[in-house]
Amino acid sequence: MTAATDQEMSGAEPEAMVLTHGTLESSDLPRARDFYENVLGLRCVQHGPIAQLVAGCVDFGIVNVNKHRDKISPQGYENRWILSVGDEQAVADIHRKAVESSFCASVGNITRDGGIVRFVIQDGDSNWWDVTSLPADHYNRYFDRSAPGSVPIGPNG
């Protein structure tokens, strides 16, 4: 028996597949939208009566679904959304806005580790956000088997 390639296991050409969105819950779409747009700097469009799309500047987004407050499933920090904003000043600007926002349940301190700055936010719907200066393509190297320091994963790793 031979190990299958990543392409054989997925059933599709990697270039033909696109991870398009994730989902999070909100009890108040207008308040959540204000937070996404005016604190995190994301774009929003309400595309249905109980849902809005939230996106940065790439082809991935979040569907924000309206639910009654007692139906929202609180999330732990391990289920956070990571928002790469580019540089230390952008992280500091968002941190200031988060501290001023009444929608934030918790705003962590800015930390520095190896030249990367970050902080975490828990929003009013118990969603966690990790705002960081990591380059937007930081995680791509994990999928590039030829990149120095990449860690092979999968059956052919």
The average pLDDT across 99-113 equals 96
Report if residue 90 sits inside a domain: yes
The average pLDDT across 135-148 equals 70
Place of tokens 């705003």: 107
Q: Domain of 52: which CATH number?
A: 3.10.180.10
Q: What is the pLDDT of residue 5?
A: 47
Phi first, then psi: give them for residue 5, nearest 5 degrees. Answer: -75, 165
Report if residue 118 sits inside a domain: yes
Beta strand 116-123 pairing with 128-132 = antiparallel
**Rounded to two decimals, what is the model's pTM?**
0.75
**Residue 66 DSSP SS3:** strand
Report if residue 95 sits inside a domain: yes
Residue 121 and residue 136: Cα distance in Å, rounded?
19
Report if residue 39 sits inside a domain: yes
Residue 61 and residue 63: Cα distance in Å, rounded?
7
Report if residue 6 sits inside a domain: no
Report if residue 115 sits inside a domain: yes
Does residue 149 register a pLDDT over 70?
no
Does residue 61 register a pLDDT over 70?
yes
Report if residue 3 sits inside a domain: no
For residue 72, give every residue at least 6 positions away whose Cβ sits within 8 Å of its Cβ, in sequence order, or none: 25, 26, 27, 125, 126
Q: What's the structural domain count of the chain?
A: 1
Q: Which domain holds residue 45?
A: 19-67+76-143
pLDDT digits (tens, 9 = 90+) for 13-44: 555 566 677 888 999 999 999 999 999 999 99
Tally helices (H) and strands (E) across the chain.
3, 9
Report if residue 1 sits inside a domain: no
Q: Is the dihedral of CA 68, 73, 77, 82 positive or negative?
A: negative
Q: Which of 32-46, 105-119, 134-148 has the lowest mean pLDDT?
A: 134-148
Q: What is the pLDDT of residue 8?
A: 46
